[in-house]
A and B are shown apart, each in its own frame.
Chain A
Amino acid sequence: MPKRTDINKILIIGSGAIIIGQACEFDYSGTQACKALKEEGYEITLVNSNPATIMTDPDFADQTYIEPITADTVELVIAKERPDALLPTLGGQTALNVSVELAELGVLDKYGVELIGAKLPAIQKAEDRALFKEAMIEIGLEVPHSGIAHTVHEALQLVQGIGFPAIIRPAFTLGGTGGGIAYNIEEYEKMVTKGLALSPINELLIEESVIGWKEFELEVMRDGADNVVIICSIENVDAMGVHTGDSITVAPIQTLTDKEYQLMRNSAIKIIREIGVDTGGSNIQFAVDPKTGRQVVIEMNPRVSRSSALASKATGFPIAKIAAKLAVGYNLDEIPNDITAETPACFEPTIDYVVVKIPRWAFEKFQGTDETLTTQMKSVGEAMAIGRTFKEALQKGLRSLENGWHGLDNHPLDDLPLSEIPSKLSVPNVKRIFYIKAALTRGMSIEEIHAYTHIDPFFLYNFKEIVDFENTLCEPNTQKHIKQRLQNIGTTPGSQNCGTDADVAKTVLQQAKQYGFSDHQLAEIYDVSEGAIRECRKELGIEATFKTVDTCAAEFEAETPYYYSTLSSEDEVRPSDKEKIMILGGGPNRIGQGIEFDYCCVHAAIALKEDGYETIMVNSNPETVSTDYDTSDRLYFEPLTVEHVLNIYHKEKPSGVIVQFGGQTPLNLAIALKEAGVPIIGTSPEDIARSEDRRLFKAVLNDIGLRQPPNGTVTSSEEAAPIAAALGYPVIVRPSYVLGGRAMQIVYDEALLHEYMNTAVEASPEHPVLIDKYLEEAIEVDVDAISDGNRTVIGGIMEHIEEAGIHSGDSDCVLPPYTLVDEQIEKLKIFTYDLAKALRVRGLMNVQYAIKSDDIYVLEVNPRASRTIPFVSKAIGVPLAKLAARVMAGKTLDELGFTNEIEPAYFSVKAPVFPFNRFPGSNTRLGPEMKSTGEVMGIDTDVSRAFAKAQKACGYTLPLGGKVFISVKNKDKRAIIFIAKRLTDMGFELIATHGTAKVLLRNGMQPELVFSIGKGRPTIHDYIKNHAVDLIINTPTGDLHRPNELLIREMAIAHDIPIFTTIPGAAAAVNAIDALQRGDITVTPLQDYFKMLQ
Chain B
Amino acid sequence: MKAILALTDGTVFEGEQFGATGEAIGEVVFNTSMTGYQEVLTDPSYKGQIVTMTYPLIGNYGCNEADVESIGPQVEGFVVREYSAYHSNWRSKWSLDTYLSEHGIIGIQGIDTRALTRRLRVHGVMNGCLSTDDLNPENLVAKAQAWPGLVGWDLVQRVTCPNPYAWRNSHQEENGQPSAVRHQQEGSGLTNNLLTDNRQATVSNSHKVIALDFGIKYNILRQLTEHGCEVQVVPAQTTAEDILAAEPDGVFLSNGPGDPMPVGYAIETIQGLIGKKPLFGICLGHQLLGLALGGKTYKLKFGHRGANQPVKHLESDRVEITSQNHGFCVDIDSLPNSVDITHINLNDNTLEGIQHREYPLFSVQYHPEASPGPHDSSYLFSRFTEMMDEC
A256→B61 contact, CB < 8 A: yes
- Interfacial chain B residues near A390, Cβ < 8 Å: 57
- Interfacial chain B residues near A456, Cβ < 8 Å: 88
Please report which residues of chain B, range 308-350, place their CB below 8 angstroms from some CB of chain A when the two chains form the complex.
308-310, 312, 317-319, 321, 346-347
Query: Is B112 on the interface with A (CB-CB < 8 A)?
Result: yes
A257→B57 contact, CB < 8 A: no
Q: How far is the CA of A344 from the CA of B344 in the complex (A)?
A: 13
Query: Is B82 on the interface with A (CB-CB < 8 A)?
Result: yes
Query: Is A292 on the interface with B (CB-CB < 8 A)?
Result: yes
By secondary structure, the B interface counts as loop
Query: Is A252 on the interface with B (CB-CB < 8 A)?
Result: yes
Taking the nearest CB of chain A, how far is it from the CB of B7, in angstroms?
13
A255→B67 contact, CB < 8 A: no
- Interfacial chain B residues near A292, Cβ < 8 Å: 90, 185, 188-190
Residues 709-721 of chain A: 1 if any B CB is under 8 Å from the residue's CB, otherwise 0? 0000000000000
- Interfacial chain A residues near B33, Cβ < 8 Å: 258, 350
Tell which of A29-37, A225-233, A517-525 binds the partner: A225-233
Neighbour of B32 across the interface among A259, A293, A458, A553, CB < 8 A = A553
Q: Tell me whether A291 and B346 are in contact in the complex, defined as CB-CB below 8 angstroms, given that A257-B64, A344-B310, A389-B82 are known contacts.
A: no
A350→B56 contact, CB < 8 A: no
A255→B114 contact, CB < 8 A: no
Query: Is A570 on the interface with B (CB-CB < 8 A)?
Result: yes
Query: Is B66 on the interface with A (CB-CB < 8 A)?
Result: yes
Query: Is B374 on the interface with A (CB-CB < 8 A)?
Result: yes
Query: Is A949 on the interface with B (CB-CB < 8 A)?
Result: no
Please report which residues of chain B, range 275-308, place their CB below 8 angstroms from some CB of chain A when the two chains form the complex.
306-308
Tell which of B35-43, B135-143, B245-253 binds the partner: B35-43
Query: Is A347 on the interface with B (CB-CB < 8 A)?
Result: yes
- Interfacial chain B residues near A333, Cβ < 8 Å: 310, 312, 319, 346
A293→B347 contact, CB < 8 A: no
Taking the nearest CB of chain A, how far is it from the CB of B74, in angstroms?
17
B86→A458 contact, CB < 8 A: yes
Query: Is A1087 on the interface with B (CB-CB < 8 A)?
Result: no
By secondary structure, the A interface counts as loop
Nearest-CB residue, chain A, relative to B118: A554
Residues 128-149 of chain B: 1 if any A CB is under 8 Å from the residue's CB, otherwise 0? 0000000000000000000000
B88→A457 contact, CB < 8 A: yes
Nearest-CB residue, chain B, relative to A332: B319
A255→B89 contact, CB < 8 A: yes
Neighbour of B375 across the interface among A225, A255, A257, A262, CB < 8 A = A262
Query: Is A867 on the interface with B (CB-CB < 8 A)?
Result: no
Q: Tell me whether A348 and B321 are in contact in the complex, defined as CB-CB below 8 angstroms, given that A142-B189, A257-B89, A570-B114 are known contacts.
A: yes
Q: How far is the CA of A348 from the CA of B370 in the complex (A)?
A: 15
Residues 115-151 of chain A: 1 if any B CB is under 8 Å from the residue's CB, otherwise 0? 0000000000000000000000000001000000000
- Interfacial chain B residues near A568, Cβ < 8 Å: 112, 114-115
Nearest-CB residue, chain A, relative to B309: A347
Tell which of A351-359, A362-370, A805-813, A1067-1075 binds the partner: A351-359
Neighbour of A555 across the interface among B32, B64, B81, B321, CB < 8 A = B32
Taking the nearest CB of chain A, how far is it from the CB of B126, in angstroms?
16
- Interfacial chain A residues near B193, Cβ < 8 Å: 263, 295
Query: Is B113 on the interface with A (CB-CB < 8 A)?
Result: yes
Query: Is B34 on the interface with A (CB-CB < 8 A)?
Result: yes
Total number of B residues with any Cβ neighbor in A under 8 Å: 62
Neighbour of A293 across the interface among B36, B188, B306, B308, CB < 8 A = B188
Q: How far is the CA of A553 from the CA of B185 in the complex (A)?
A: 35
Q: How far is the CA of A260 from the CA of B370 in the complex (A)?
A: 13
Query: Is A253 on the interface with B (CB-CB < 8 A)?
Result: yes
- Interfacial chain A residues near B57, Cβ < 8 Å: 254, 354, 389-390
Query: Is B1 on the interface with A (CB-CB < 8 A)?
Result: no
A457→B86 contact, CB < 8 A: yes
B39→A554 contact, CB < 8 A: no
Please report which residues of chain B, range 355-391, place their CB below 8 angstroms from some CB of chain A when the two chains form the complex.
370-375
Q: How far is the CA of A258 from the CA of B308 in the complex (A)?
A: 13
B67→A258 contact, CB < 8 A: yes
B36→A257 contact, CB < 8 A: yes
Query: Is A3 on the interface with B (CB-CB < 8 A)?
Result: no
Q: Tell me whether A266 and B197 are in contact in the complex, defined as CB-CB below 8 angstroms, given that A252-B34, A458-B88 are known contacts.
A: yes
Query: Is B60 on the interface with A (CB-CB < 8 A)?
Result: yes
Query: Is B171 on the interface with A (CB-CB < 8 A)?
Result: no
Residues 178-194 of chain B: 1 if any A CB is under 8 Å from the residue's CB, otherwise 0? 00000001001110011
A569→B194 contact, CB < 8 A: no
- Interfacial chain B residues near A253, Cβ < 8 Å: 34-35
Q: How far is the CA of A142 from the CA of B306 in the complex (A)?
A: 30
B32→A263 contact, CB < 8 A: no
Q: How far is the CA of A855 from the CA of B111 in the complex (A)?
A: 69
Residues 238-275 of chain A: 1 if any B CB is under 8 Å from the residue's CB, otherwise 0? 00000000000000111111111111011000000000
Q: Tell me whether A260 and B190 are in contact in the complex, defined as CB-CB below 8 angstroms, given that A266-B375, A292-B90, A547-B114 are known contacts.
A: yes
Neighbour of A258 across the interface among B82, B86, B321, B373, CB < 8 A = B373
A266, A333, A461 — most chain B CB neighbours (10 Å): A266
Interface size on A, as a range, is 35 or more
A554→B121 contact, CB < 8 A: yes
Q: Tell me whether A554 and B86 are in contact in the complex, defined as CB-CB below 8 angstroms, given that A255-B60, A262-B373 are known contacts.
A: no
- Interfacial chain A residues near B346, Cβ < 8 Å: 333, 343-344, 346-347
Query: Is A552 on the interface with B (CB-CB < 8 A)?
Result: yes
- Interfacial chain B residues near A266, Cβ < 8 Å: 197-198, 375
Nearest-CB residue, chain A, relative to B219: A259
Residues 242-263 of chain B: 1 if any A CB is under 8 Å from the residue's CB, otherwise 0? 0000000000000000000000
Q: Tell me whether A347 and B90 are in contact in the complex, defined as CB-CB below 8 angstroms, given that A294-B189, A553-B55 are known contacts.
A: no
B306→A350 contact, CB < 8 A: yes
- Interfacial chain A residues near B307, Cβ < 8 Å: 258, 348, 350
Nearest-CB residue, chain B, relative to A262: B375
B61→A255 contact, CB < 8 A: yes
B319→A352 contact, CB < 8 A: no
Q: How far is the CA of A290 from the CA of B88 in the complex (A)?
A: 9
Taking the nearest CB of chain A, how far is it from the CB of B347, in angstroms?
5
Q: How far is the CA of A32 from the CA of B370 in the complex (A)?
A: 34
B321→A458 contact, CB < 8 A: no
B319→A553 contact, CB < 8 A: no
- Interfacial chain A residues near B115, Cβ < 8 Å: 568-570
Query: Is A349 on the interface with B (CB-CB < 8 A)?
Result: yes
- Interfacial chain B residues near A424, Cβ < 8 Å: none
- Interfacial chain A residues near B111, Cβ < 8 Å: 569
Neighbour of A569 across the interface among B56, B112, B319, CB < 8 A = B112
B374→A295 contact, CB < 8 A: no
Residues 437-465 of chain A: 1 if any B CB is under 8 Å from the residue's CB, otherwise 0? 00000000010000000001110011000
Nearest-CB residue, chain A, relative to B346: A344
Residues 192-235 of chain B: 1 if any A CB is under 8 Å from the residue's CB, otherwise 0? 01100110000000000000000000000000000000000000
Please report which residues of chain A, range 543-587, place their CB below 8 angstroms from some CB of chain B when the two chains form the complex.
547, 552-557, 568-570, 572
Query: Is B157 on the interface with A (CB-CB < 8 A)?
Result: no
Nearest-CB residue, chain A, relative to B371: A258
Taking the nearest CB of chain B, how far is it from the CB of A25, in angstroms?
24
B56→A263 contact, CB < 8 A: no
Residues 860-892 of chain A: 1 if any B CB is under 8 Å from the residue's CB, otherwise 0? 000000000000000000000000000000000
Query: Is B54 on the interface with A (CB-CB < 8 A)?
Result: yes
A348→B35 contact, CB < 8 A: no
Q: 8 A-B residue contacts at CB 8 Å? A: A252-B55, A258-B33, A262-B372, A262-B374, A462-B86, A553-B306, A569-B13, A569-B111
Which B residues contact A (CB, under 8 angstroms)? 13, 30, 32-36, 38-39, 54-57, 60-61, 64, 66-67, 81-82, 84-91, 111-115, 117-118, 121, 185, 188-190, 193-194, 197-198, 306-310, 312, 317-319, 321, 346-347, 370-375
Known contacts A258-B35, A350-B308, A553-B30; 14 additional CB pairs below 8 A are A142-B189, A225-B318, A254-B60, A258-B36, A259-B371, A263-B190, A292-B190, A293-B185, A294-B190, A350-B33, A352-B114, A388-B82, A568-B114, A570-B114
Ordered nearest first, which 7 A-B pairs have the shortest CB separation? Answer: A258-B36, A461-B86, A570-B115, A258-B372, A553-B54, A458-B88, A348-B308
